Amino acid sequence: MKRSSRWVILSFSLCILFTAVLSGCSKSDNKESSSTDNKPAATASASQSNASDDNAANENREPVTLKYSFWGSTIEKKTVTDALKAFEKKYDWITVEPVHIPSDYLTKITTMVAGNVAPDVGYMSAGSALSWAVDGKLANLNEFIDKDPIFRKEDYLDQVWYNWAPDKTLGMSTAVEGYGIMYNKDMLIEAGVELPPTKASEAWEWDKFLEYAKKLTIDNKGRNALDPNFDPDKIKQFGFQYDPYNMMAAVVSNGGNYLTPDGTGFGLAQPEAIEAIQKLADLMYVHHVSPTPLQTKSLPDMALQTKRVAITVSGNWALQDFAAQDINLGVGVLPKLKVSNTLSDGAPTVIFSSTKHPEEAWLLYKWMADPEAVLPLIAGGLWMPLKKDWYTNPDLIAKWASGNKAHPEGYVDAFMIQTMENGVRTPGFEVKNLSKIGALVTPALDLVWTGKKTAEEALKEVEPKVQPLIQGHYGK
């Protein structure tokens, strides 16, 4: 999924434009690469949740064809297609046509829906999915779940569900995408900086993190940012890099949120959020430990590998790329302001209400939600699983979260446990009217990220325009 979920969210963090997600996620922008090419595709016996349906494939049924739409890289396309083929093998009266849309996904799906040729099942961006569900374009999964004697909603992580009303569910995240820090171990060891903690209880306090980021930021004469003679105009190595998309982790860590708790006010204009956002901007323009948007354009894609950046913040999906690089990679939990947390992201998979084969669409939906069916994407670092027992059962954890290059030492604590226990859902899961609000907030925050205004100036100025657009939270 990568950053496909981001299309909506990135409109409020840069301000939170839409990845992975999506890469959730999911991140929307997409990222790529993999170490899973030689891993087995899903098998015909993959889904425990579908166990009661095993005999159905042997019955005489009318042939059914479904369409499954999705985005993603070459490896994601291959693994999703393999999972669909395994599904066809089990349910032999069903043929699934993969509809891979690597770019302009929402535009193309909108055209398909308008032309009455919508897919049966497929990915969707978060904000659009919620508004489409309200408009009746997406099925309410609760109607399938209530009739299914095997499927149990409680078997899946609570944070993956998209609800547009208390009793109406449009789907789950296609995959979980947690966030953390990833770093070049060699660079930290050479600088004498302690390695970032992997447990929430040991997360770096902000001042400690800032000191280390300064120590790791080096100018062209070898002076770090703690040196009074450090030249911020000639930096050859940055200590820290982050995408402002990730700002919500800091905002929530400091006690703020996108809206106020009652859903009636603009939370980003409150003191807790303003303070957190300003601290992120200060990393660029006061402390000079993180590249500005302009400086980021000149950095290579493999900034950690080439030692242009020591520590970066990214979603789980980036591990797939790093697994293909020659780098001594480490992972850790995000630095904290008041409490340790991470973002929990992931764009939803949905059933389109126009499907002519709802029963078969539900079988396919369950199949693709089962971690076993898409194990190469999970073990390869792109996705995190949806089911709770894949975070608690040692045998299942061993299948994906340890013992492979895509999941470095410390991953279980820094990403897996942190996301499950302290994951904060991105606003795309629940903020109503987000696209219209984001259309105002994005340019306001751009002024902060480019150093033209303080967070307080920018957010207080836009607050009167945002306030009339606030409609509260979905699912409440």
User: Tens-digit pLDDT profile for the chain (476 aa)?
Assistant: 444 433 333 333 333 333 333 333 333 333 333 333 333 333 333 444 444 444 444 467 899 999 999 999 888 999 899 999 999 999 999 999 999 999 999 999 999 999 999 999 999 999 899 999 999 999 999 999 999 999 999 999 999 999 999 999 999 999 999 999 999 999 999 999 999 999 999 999 999 999 999 999 999 999 999 999 999 999 999 999 998 878 999 999 999 999 999 999 999 999 999 999 999 999 999 999 999 999 999 999 899 999 999 999 999 999 999 998 999 999 999 999 999 999 999 999 999 999 999 999 999 999 999 999 999 999 999 999 999 999 999 999 999 999 899 999 999 999 999 999 999 999 999 999 999 999 999 999 999 999 999 999 999 999 999 999 999 999 87
- Are 185 and 328 in contact by the 8 Å Cβ rule? The answer is yes
Q: Are residues 50 and 152 in the same domain?
A: yes
Which residue carries 């980036």 as its tokens?
Answer: 318
Tokens of 392: 């608690």
According to DSSP, the residues that pair with 98 across neighbouring strands are: 68
CA distance 157 to 333: 20
Q: What is the pLDDT of residue 59?
A: 60
Instruction: Confirm whether 114 is domain-assigned.
Output: yes
Nearest to 332, CA basis, from 468, 196, 461, 232: 196
CA distance 286 to 265: 30
Q: Are residues 205 and 314 in the same domain?
A: yes
CA distance 369 to 123: 12
Q: Are residues 324 and 227 in the same domain?
A: yes
CA 406 to chain centre: 17
Q: Are residues 42 and 150 in the same domain?
A: yes
Instruction: Confirm whether 470 is domain-assigned.
Output: no
Q: Are residues 60 and 146 in the same domain?
A: yes
At 328, phi and psi to the nearest 5? Answer: -85, 85
Residues in CB range of 277: below 8 A, 6 or more apart? 247, 250, 251, 268, 445, 448, 455, 459
Residues in CB range of 94: below 8 A, 6 or more apart? 63, 64, 65, 66, 87, 88, 360, 363, 364
Q: Are residues 260 and 340 in the same domain?
A: yes
Task: Give the end of a domain, one of 305, 323, 344.
Answer: 344
Q: Are residues 22 and 147 in the same domain?
A: yes
The separation between the first and the last C-alpha atoms of the chain, rounded to the nearest angstrom, is 27
Instruction: Confirm whether 455 is domain-assigned.
Output: no
Task: Give the end of a domain, one of 289, 323, 344.
Answer: 344
- Are 332 and 196 in contact by the 8 Å Cβ rule? The answer is yes
- Are 332 and 183 in contact by the 8 Å Cβ rule? The answer is yes
Please report, rounded to a whole number, the percentage of residues in the chain having pLDDT higher than 90: 83
- Are 442 and 12 in contact by the 8 Å Cβ rule? The answer is yes
Number of domains in the chain: 2
At 340, phi and psi to the nearest 5? Answer: -85, 130
CA distance 364 to 342: 31
Tokens of 69: 């739409």
Q: Are residues 23 and 161 in the same domain?
A: yes
Nearest to 42, CA basis, from 377, 395, 351, 390: 377
Question: Looking only at Cα atoms, what is the longest distance across the chain?
Answer: 80
Instruction: Confirm whether 15 is domain-assigned.
Output: yes
Instruction: Confirm whether 106 is domain-assigned.
Output: yes
- Are 232 and 288 in contact by the 8 Å Cβ rule? The answer is yes
CA atoms within 13 A on the CB side of 362: 18
Q: Are residues 98 and 193 in the same domain?
A: no
Residues in CB range of 235: below 8 A, 6 or more apart? 217, 218, 219, 220, 288, 291, 295
Torsion of CA 140, 146, 152, 153, to 10 degrees: 30
The C-alpha R_g of the chain, in whole angstroms, comes to: 22
Task: Give the end of a domain, one of 288, 312, 344.
Answer: 344
Instruction: Confirm whether 149 is domain-assigned.
Output: yes
Q: What is the CATH number of the domain that holds 40?
A: 3.40.190.10
Instruction: Confirm whether 440 is domain-assigned.
Output: no
- Tell me how crowded residue 476 is: count the other CB atoms within 10 A of its CB: 11
CA distance 372 to 363: 15
According to DSSP, the residues that pair with 69 across neighbouring strands are: 99, 122
Q: Are residues 173 and 184 in the same domain?
A: no
Instruction: Confirm whether 20 is domain-assigned.
Output: yes
Q: Are residues 302 and 366 in the same domain?
A: no
- Are 230 and 238 in contact by the 8 Å Cβ rule? The answer is no
Tokens of 229: 């003679």
Number of residues written out for the chain: 476
CA distance 409 to 329: 9
Q: Are residues 298 and 372 in the same domain?
A: no
Tokens of 383: 């996705």
The type of residue at 79 is T
Which residue carries 């950095």 as its tokens?
Answer: 299
According to DSSP, the residues that pair with 161 across neighbouring strands are: 172
Q: What is the pLDDT of residue 109?
A: 97
Give the structural domain span for 289. Answer: 179-344
Q: What angle do CA 349, 112, 19 make, to 5 degrees?
A: 40
